[in-house]
Homo-oligomer: A and B are copies of this chain.
Amino acid sequence: MVTLSDVAKQANVSKMTVSRVINHPEQVTAELRQLVEAAMATLDYQPNAAAKALANNRTNVIKLVILEDIDTTEPYYMSLLFGIAKGLDKCGYALQLVTERERLGKGNAADGFIVTGARAADLPLIDALAKPTVIFGENHNGYDFIDTDNKAGTAMATEYALAKNYQSLVFLGIDVKEAFEYSREAGYINTLQQHKKLPQIHRMSNHSHQSQQFINAHWAEFARDTCFICASDRLAIGVVRAIMQNGGTIPRDFGVIGFDGVFLDQVSNPKLTTVKQPVQRLGELLARMLLQKVAQSGAQQGELLVDPELIARDTTRK
């Protein structure tokens, strides 16, 4: 293993100079700096993370806390995890997972936390962490967070449906009291109001068979030229199935737009037009924001809403 000392010898300087070239390059003359950099290159010096961590009172580990009781095969969270891991790697950080509330305080220490699935009741838990923390998912309690711009997403979908000349726009929402859902509904409502149209919202739990059942039960009420704006791809898929069961023609007479764009939209048949969340990028951004917060010893980072993207496929008119 190549250490600081080795590099120092090779460059004929002290360990400290090498250390400074790495951490405070401005404090060292250009001449020596180049010497040291050359030495590091020829020896292929890789700093020892453990030693660094020990000296800095750091751990080089970030914990990802998933408070929601998720089905771990849910591609959404998996994509997020992937993005976070990638973002951390870039900075030499590693990742640990916490899926149980009880294990939050236990185990190894970490330099910071990324929390997802936090509900109001969990906020005290988060405060108790006493370490830099970043939340995944909209919230309005002053915690730093990153999320998709949900409102922009449904606004985008609604505008698109209008542009494709669907006359009636119905929103199918998820029956939860969460900020993301309110924002998605708001994006739809605002856009319709701008176009002097009346919103029409139905809420149900987030399963395709729920929306399928709902459409079947109310089929007679939906005229041709209706586009269903859905709060999730799961709901959208159920709607597609119901329309086909009832003999409706997609996309000519009925349009369907989903939300999420994680795997499900691509394997459905016909392929779903959807508002795609940049989930993996969100993960990378979470990592970046948290590491910056750690570097700034816990300074407030604010909120970051990332624009989703409308993916036009086969459930809306060309």
Residues in A lying within 8 Å of B, measured CB to CB: 1, 46-51, 53-54, 57-61, 72-75, 77-79, 81-82, 85-86, 88-89, 92, 94-99, 107-109, 208, 234, 237, 241, 262-264, 267, 269, 279-280
CA distance A98 to B46 in the complex (A): 17
Question: What residues of chain B lie closer than 8 Å to A269, measured between beta carbons?
Answer: 208, 241
List B contacts of A94 (CB < 8 A): 61, 94-96
Please indicate the chain B residues that have their CB under 8 angstroms from the CB of A82 in the complex.
Answer: 72, 78, 81, 97
Nearest to A85 among chain B residues (CB) is: B97
- Our pick among B57, B72, B92, B108 for the contact of A79 (Cβ within 8 Å) is B72
A85-B97, A94-B95, A95-B95 known; A280+B54 contact, CB < 8 A = no
| Cβ A81 vs Cβ B79 within 8 A | no
- Is the CB–CB distance between A48 and B109 below 8 Å? yes
Give every chain B residue within 8 A of A279 (Cβ-Cβ). 73
Residue of B nearest to A50 (CB): B53
Select A96's contact among B1, B53, B95, beta carbons within 8 Å. B95
Chain B residues whose CB sits within 8 angstroms of the CB of A58 once the complex forms: 50
Interface centre among A53, A99, A208, A241 (most CB of B within 10 A): A53
Assembly stoichiometry (copies): 2
Question: In angstroms, how far is the closest chain B Cβ from the Cβ of A234?
Answer: 8
- The 5 tightest CB contacts between A and B, nearest first, are A78-B78, A94-B94, A50-B53, A85-B97, A50-B54
Contact A50:B46 (CB < 8 A) given known A85-B95, A267-B264: no
Bound complex: CA A94 to CA B95 (Å): 5
| Residues from chain B with Cβ under 8 Å of A81 in the complex | 78, 81-82, 85
| Cβ of A5 to closest chain B Cβ, rounded Å | 15
A27: shortest Cβ distance to chain B, in Å? 25
CB-defined contacts of A85 to chain B, threshold 8 Å: 81, 95-97
Chain B's closest residue to A49 (CB) is B108
Nearest Cβ in chain B — how far from A313, in angstroms?
14
Q: Which residue of B lies closest to A283 (CB)?
A: B72
Q: Which of B72, B79, B107, B267 contacts A280 (CB 8 A)?
A: B72
List B contacts of A75 (CB < 8 A): 73-75, 78, 263
Q: How far is the CB of A174 from chain B (nearest CB, A)?
A: 17
User: CB-CB < 8 A to A108: which residues of B?
Assistant: 46-47, 49, 92
Q: How far apart sit A279 and B78, CA to CA, in the bound complex (Å)? A: 13
Name 18 A/B residue pairs within 8 A (Cβ), A-sorted.
A46-B108, A48-B109, A49-B53, A49-B59, A49-B61, A49-B109, A50-B54, A50-B58, A50-B60, A53-B53, A73-B75, A73-B79, A73-B262, A85-B95, A85-B97, A92-B108, A94-B96, A237-B267
